[in-house]
Amino acid sequence: MQKVYEFLKDAGTYYLATADGDQPRVRPFGTVHVFEGRLYIQTGKIKPVSRQLHTNPKAEICAFKDGKWIRVAGELVSDDRYEAKASMLDAYPGLKKMYSADDGNTEVFYFKNAVYTISSFTAPPVSGSF
């Protein structure tokens, strides 16, 4: 998982894909954090992505950097604990202008049953799970 975290953190932006009924939805994200040994992302409960993940928690993320790309697939599980949200916001202090751990809107999800592949055009893929 540390390899995945470092790749995503270094890339800066990754793209999260969810399902909205029978329509895929993809959007850029930038928050990635490790808390209690799990890989977390953050969003707002008022956003469509939150509703989509509660309806169907299966998701994928993809990022590209230095000629390599990573794909991570798994289930995103909502963690409504104050501590999980506060840890994410502490890792991204700029978000505190829009969110707080007890605002009723901040939402963090962690990956469950995740698999990843790091690929390039010049080297064999590297895969794993966490």
pLDDT given at position 59: 98
Q: Under the phi-then-psi rule, with left for phi > 0, alpha for psi from -120 to 50, and beta for the rest, what region is 115?
A: beta
pLDDT given at position 126: 97
pLDDT given at position 84: 98
| All structural domains of the chain | 2-129 (2.30.110.10)
Q: pTM of the full predicted structure?
A: 0.96
pLDDT given at position 15: 98
Q: What is the pLDDT of residues 77-112, one digit of tens each?
A: 999 999 999 999 999 999 999 999 999 999 999 999
pLDDT given at position 64: 98
Quote the strand ranges of the chain, DSSP E. Answer: 14-20, 23-29, 33-35, 38-44, 58-65, 68-79, 106-120, 126-129
Q: Which residue has the tokens 């809107």?
A: 105
Q: What is the pLDDT of residues 1-49, one digit of tens each?
A: 999 999 999 999 999 999 999 999 999 999 999 999 999 999 999 999 9
64-80 mean pLDDT: 98
* Interatomic CA distance for residues 43 and 12, integer angstroms: 16
